[in-house]
Amino acid sequence: MAVRVRFAPSPTGSLHLGNALTAVANRRFADERAGVLVLRIDDTDPKRTVEGGEEAILQDLEWLGIGFDEDSVRQSERGELYAMAAERAIASQAAERDPEDAVRLRGGGATLLRADGSATYQLASVVDDLTLGITHVIRGSDHRPNLELQQRMARAIGGELPEVIHHGLVLGTDGKKLSKRHGHASIADLRDEGFPPEAVRAYLDELGLPDHDVHLDLARLRRLATDAIAAMGDEELAAAAQAPLEAVPVLRGARSLVEAREYAKIVVEPDRVDLPSEAQVTLERFAELRTVAPEHLSPDEARAVLRELKAVGGDLRSLRLALTGAAKGPELWAVLAAVPRDEALARARRAVSA
């Protein structure tokens, strides 16, 4: 039997990192078995539906590079299927209508259809897994309490629930389920913090299908972000950092795209500084070295200029301030490689002209 799995988010806004783990796990499970991944939007509860929520989820999935193999399915468009399933459960005497016209399972009273005829999450989920031919349900362990009830519902409507695999949840550093108060809880949070999508996807792939809950490892995520930024092509990195192509040398040491944009700004649009007269000796020697060097320095040429300055006791802090207007930032050799000769000389002159 061909493997068919599904990812079934509710349209409540940007994906929680734990839900993104589920999406990645389902995609990988399908790919490793030449199977199919279906996207199902669980929108039976209007109270949980957020305006623009589905669009936010689709944006997050695309950002993570997660594609689907069939057209998406929305539960809000499948009410007739759920009603027919409830009628089958009544016919098999596994369910009955109550005085308010809701349909409930016998022996426990779990609701299949509400009094207004709308399906509950439990029934809709079971019906969809059966009618879509899902072979494996891969989801977070917070759904584990639903398993027995959903198995009963599946049997009540004449089917058997697919094989269910539960994975551990993503927790904050305090051991509690990751939430907004922790930060970094959603894909939108990570995107806004400047994590490249390749880093987030790689981190989720590394987690795999954890048997137990896992704590978010921000240090690992940041290392992956640094690696992803370093691996980008020049034009890709410039576009991702919203920076000019000539600023790329200073971007590669950044730990996030936000930091890369900050690096680009101080190199392309530095703040004006006025340095003390003591800095003039260093800047004059820098001017001598830079004047005879090419308009654009290679990394090795930039490092050679710095070695010459160090050899004569040059004040590299003053040089950094002159070129970037900031005391901290990207590697100084990268700044020299990013700033063309005439611009570098002009900044050095301005810094001691007052």
Question: Cβ–Cβ contacts within 10 Å for residue 147, how many?
Answer: 14
Q: Which is more confidently placed, 181 or 44?
A: 44
Whether 259 and 129 map to the same domain: the answer is no
pLDDT tens digits for range 73-109 = 999 999 999 999 999 999 999 999 999 999 999 988 8
pLDDT tens digits for range 2-22 = 999 999 999 999 999 999 999
Buried b (16+ CB within 10 A) or exposed e, 248-279: bbbbbbbebbebbbbbbbbbbebeebebeeeb
CATH of the domain at 303: 1.10.10
Does the pLDDT at position 174 exceed 90?
A: no
Q: Which domain holds residue 85?
A: 4-171
State residue 50's pLDDT score.
Answer: 84
Whether 59 and 165 map to the same domain: the answer is yes
Whether 256 and 165 map to the same domain: the answer is no
The secondary structure element, H or E, covering residue 96 is strand 95-97
Does the pLDDT at position 143 exceed 70?
A: yes
Does residue 285 fall inside a structural domain?
yes
Whether 35 and 154 map to the same domain: the answer is yes
CATH of the domain at 93: 3.40.50.620
Does residue 311 fall inside a structural domain?
yes
Mean pLDDT, rounded, of the chain: 94
Where is the domain boundary, 152, 171, 190?
Answer: 171
Whether 144 and 254 map to the same domain: the answer is no
State residue 352's pLDDT score.
Answer: 83
- What percent of the chain is modeled with pLDDT above 90? 90
Where is the domain boundary, 171, 188, 218?
Answer: 171
Does residue 92 fall inside a structural domain?
yes
Total domains in the fold of the chain? 2
Residue whose token pair is 């009603």:
83
Structure tokens at 297: 């320095």
Does residue 202 fall inside a structural domain?
no
- What percent of the chain is modeled with pLDDT above 70? 99
Mean pLDDT of 26-51: 92
State residue 354's pLDDT score.
Answer: 54
d(CA 24, CA 309): 50
Where is the domain boundary, 128, 149, 171?
Answer: 171
pLDDT tens digits for range 186-240 = 999 999 999 999 999 999 999 999 999 999 999 999 999 999 999 999 999 999 9
Separation of CA 219 from chain center: 15
